[in-house]
Amino acid sequence: MFGTMISNLMIKPNKSPVFNSPKDYDLEYEDVAFQASDGVTLRGWLVKGSTDKVIIQSHFGTQCSRAGYTTKGKGLMKGWKEDIPFLGHAKGLSEQGYTVLMYDFRNHGESDPGTLPWISWGPEEAKDVIAAVDFITRRPEYENAHIGLLSICMGAAASTYAYGMGDQGLRRYSNIKAMFAVQPVHYTEFTKALGIPAFLLRAATSKSRERLGFDMNVKTFMPDVKQIAVPTLVMQNKNDPLTDLDFVQRYYDELQVEKELLWLELTKNRAAAYDYLPKHPETIVEFFDKYL
């Protein structure tokens, strides 16, 4: 029973409503839908800027959607004290001429359930990152646009997995020019930091393995980091209690491209870095302006 409860906490969908709209920020936008390679329909917003530079946002997992994080419905398990509206940084990017594609991963927000109806922490969601890039690439008005990846937490993991997929992955897209990777996360480090007793964690991992078809402690995107082909900024809150900072450093060290590592000194909470984004869109703009 406890193993199932913890597995639900980690990989069960339907905790990520879309809680606001670009209308609330007076942004010009379009509701969009597109399909991943396995037929899963993804939905999102295309927030309009110029047609020559596009940011594709891939959000964090389980309790997040394209809109960000909301405290509504979270009960006592709130990850942050208030809503984190990602439209805050989308507005900042749009004002600087960037178009922003904000989409929901499969099993999140308003996108369809995946062919695997569980959140995989990146391997399945990698298909969605590729679909988002393909969607922009095929739109006639953006055929000459440069693309930047704003990949947050599980979004960073999914983007990294997508770079490791060879000819079917992101390396085939020459229009991707840079990636901003926010707090890349791996299951092993995350669950260790939670302090879950070993016997309960074994039960949860076993249940998740039954559901996903792989062991989350074994599956890792680290071998794929060397396949990332564009300049990358890695951002991490030093006071994040739910990660191993050495793991983040290893991720950065494995990058074989032009790279930057931005350590933040924020509140002792993982979500503090997510909250930082809409309040400091200039950090995102400054990085992408170098390459897009």
pLDDT digits (tens, 9 = 90+) for 147-194: 999 999 999 999 999 999 999 999 999 999 999 999 999 998 898 888
Confidence of residue 216 (pLDDT cuts 50, 70, 90): very high
Q: CA distances (Å), 169 to each of 130, 253, 287, in order? A: 7, 22, 24
CA-closest candidate to residue 51, choices 230, 172, 175? 175
Q: Which residue has the tokens 């951002």?
A: 235
Average pLDDT, the chain: 96
Task: Give the pLDDT mean for 217-229.
Answer: 97
Compute the C-alpha angle 66/254/177, nearest 5°: 50
**Gap between the Cα atoms of 261 and 64, Å rounded:** 24
Least confident range from 70-74, 125-129, 136-140, 150-154: namely 70-74
The DSSP secondary-structure symbol of 22 reads G
pLDDT digits (tens, 9 = 90+) for 36-88: 999 999 999 999 999 999 999 999 999 999 999 999 888 767 889 999 999 99
The DSSP secondary-structure symbol of 133 reads H
- What's the predicted TM-score (pTM) here? 0.97
CATH of 15-186+221-289, one of 3.40.30.10, 1.10.101.10, 3.40.50.1820, 1.20.1440.230: 3.40.50.1820
Q: CA distances (Å), 63 to each of 72, 108, 154, 253, 254, in order? A: 11, 8, 11, 29, 29
Least confident range from 11-15, 67-71, 100-104, 223-227: namely 11-15
Say if residue 257's pLDDT is above 70.
yes
- Domain parsing of the chain, residue ranges: 15-186+221-289
For 48, residues 6+ apart whose C-beta sits below 8 A from its C-beta are 27, 28, 29, 30, 94, 99
For 49, residues 6+ apart whose C-beta sits below 8 A from its C-beta are 93, 94, 96, 97, 98, 99, 100
pLDDT digits (tens, 9 = 90+) for 17-40: 999 999 999 999 999 999 999 999
Per-residue confidence (pLDDT) for residue 245, from 0 to 100: 96
Question: How many C-alpha atoms does 54 have within 13 Å on its Cβ side?
Answer: 27
Task: Give the pLDDT mean for 106-119.
Answer: 97
Per-residue confidence (pLDDT) for residue 76, from 0 to 100: 67
| C-beta separation of 142 from 99 below 8 A | yes
Pairing of strands 259-264, 232-237: parallel
Q: Which residue has the higher pLDDT, 209 or 194?
A: 209
CA-closest candidate to residue 59, choices 259, 271, 279, 285? 271
Q: CA distances (Å), 128 to each of 42, 79, 231, in order? A: 8, 25, 21
Task: Read off the amino acid at residue 40.
Answer: V
Tokens of 152: 């947050």
Pairing of strands 176-182, 146-152: parallel
Q: Where are the beta strands (DSSP E) in 200-281?
A: 232-237, 259-264
